[in-house]
Chains A and B, each alone.
Chain A
Amino acid sequence: MNYLQAFAISASGMAVEKMRVDVTAANLANAYSTRAADGGTFRAQRVVSAERAGGFESLLRGAQVVELQPVDAPPRLAFEPGHPDADDRGYVAYPGISPVSEMVALLTAQRAYEANVAALNAAKAMALKTLELGR
Chain B
Amino acid sequence: MGQDFGTWLTSAVGRVNQQLVQADQGLRELAAGETQNLHQVMISLEEARLGVQLLVQVRNRLLEAYQEVLRMQP
Contact = CB atoms under 8 A, between A and B. Distances in A.
A54 B54 CA distance: 29
B24 interface: no
A124 interface: yes
A15 interface: yes
Chain B facing A: main interface SS:
helix
A15 B42 CA distance: 13
B39 A131 contact: no
A3 B37 contact: no
Interface string A1-43: 0011001001100110010000000000000000000000000
B57 to A, nearest CB: 5
Contact of B39 (A4, A18, A124): A18
Interface of B: 37, 39-40, 43, 46-47, 50, 53-54, 57
**Pairs A-B, 3 closest by C-beta atoms:** A14-B39, A131-B57, A7-B43
